[in-house]
Amino acid sequence: MDIYQSTIRPILFSGLKTDPEWLHNRTLALLSWLSSNQESTLGHWVKGQLQQRFCLNDGRLEQTLWGVNFPNPLGLAAGFDKDGVAAGIWGSLGFGFAELGTVTFHGQPGNPRPRLFRLVEDKAALNRMGFNNLGAIAMAARLEQLKVNRLQVEQLKVNRLQVGINLGKSKLTPLAEAADDYRSSFGLLRELGDYFVVNVSSPNTPGLRSLQDASQLSLILDALQQENVSQKPILVKIAPDLEWNAIADVLELAQSYGLAGIIATNTTIRRDLLKTQRIAATGKPVTEEAGGISGAPLRQRSTEVIRFIWQETQGSLPIIGVGGIFTAEDAWEKITAGASLIQVYT
């Protein structure tokens, strides 16, 4: 057990009763500073300490997908760094790639607070953030500067962090205009990411999951294909709550469009596997709180979905596995089920 698990985590989770979103924002602010000040004396020293502690350079861990080299298969899942403010530091924390976003074309505040809750007994979190982000224009400006720095790194022939960008629909955009919304974001960001994700599976934007239907999803994919002049890898992120036949429909569509892969899975709206009965911060039963569940309760279902995708496609469609990964054994379970890469967050 390290110092975080033995000392810092108990203080943050219990002693201070810290609001999880407040803590998340403070942590991200610190990482943002490090990302922006890596060449300062202090920033350079901290970065070196992080790399010494967290980075493992081993050729056996490398993965190449879609012509993109991943130093290792462990990635940061979308949702932590929604605006890409810490994009320059994730590689120093041992990640082989980081998925930024979810970003929408229009900046938006997200859902009312409180909107993020710890379910400690379940090793889980409940969130209904609602795609809070500054918008695609702001992210593009930030990543343009990062792109300059990354070119400097490439000249030194050092493995660089790969960047994915997760695209969502703006809340104010009607569902009928979703395709144009995704296309507008992609057009701004397409030269700034190594791969892109169509997020139609968050439960926290009204009607969004209906876009997983093949007839709706095809409209979005048509729009993105028209914009994808540089042939960037495009993946779709799916919900764990889809029935098998619905997942099969998405897979058929993905293959017909030549998509780069599937991310399995997003959060679940199921509550039946939870030990937690009531949310302490609101006093309401967990069954009455809207939002998606991530963490340990999602592990088995996400692995089942990964295995189903691999079997249905005979391994021809790359999978990024996410959901309930806490240990190396959890990660290996996802990989042996069919995932080429994995992501962590909760």
Q: Are 317 and 251 in contact (CB under 8 A)?
A: yes
* The overall pTM is greater than 0.85: yes
Res. 63: pLDDT tops 60: yes
What confidence tens digit (pLDDT) does each residue in 126-140 have? Answer: 999 999 999 999 999
Q: Are 68 and 195 in contact (CB under 8 A)?
A: yes
Within 10 A of 267 (CB to CB), how many other CB atoms are there? 30
* pLDDT at position 146: 76
Cis before 102? omega within 30: yes
DSSP strand E in 95-251: where?
A: 97-103, 116-119, 124-127, 162-167, 195-199, 234-238
Q: Are 113 and 132 in contact (CB under 8 A)?
A: no
Q: Are 155 and 90 in contact (CB under 8 A)?
A: no
* Mean predicted confidence (pLDDT) in 202-213: 94
- In order, the DSSP letters of 165-203 are EEE---TTS-GGGHHHHHHHHHHHHTTT-SEEEEE---T
Least confident of 48-62, 100-114, 222-236, 326-340: 48-62
* Catalytic sites, residue numbers: 202
Domains of the chain: 59-344 (3.20.20.70)
Q: How far apart are CA 13 and CA 242, in angstroms?
A: 33
* Mean predicted confidence (pLDDT) in 167-188: 98
* Mean predicted confidence (pLDDT) in 236-259: 97
Kind and range of the H or E run holding 59:
none
Quick one: pLDDT band at residue 11, thresholds 50, 70, 90? low
What confidence tens digit (pLDDT) does each residue in 99-129 have? Answer: 999 999 999 999 999 999 999 999 999 999 9
* Mean predicted confidence (pLDDT) in 26-41: 92
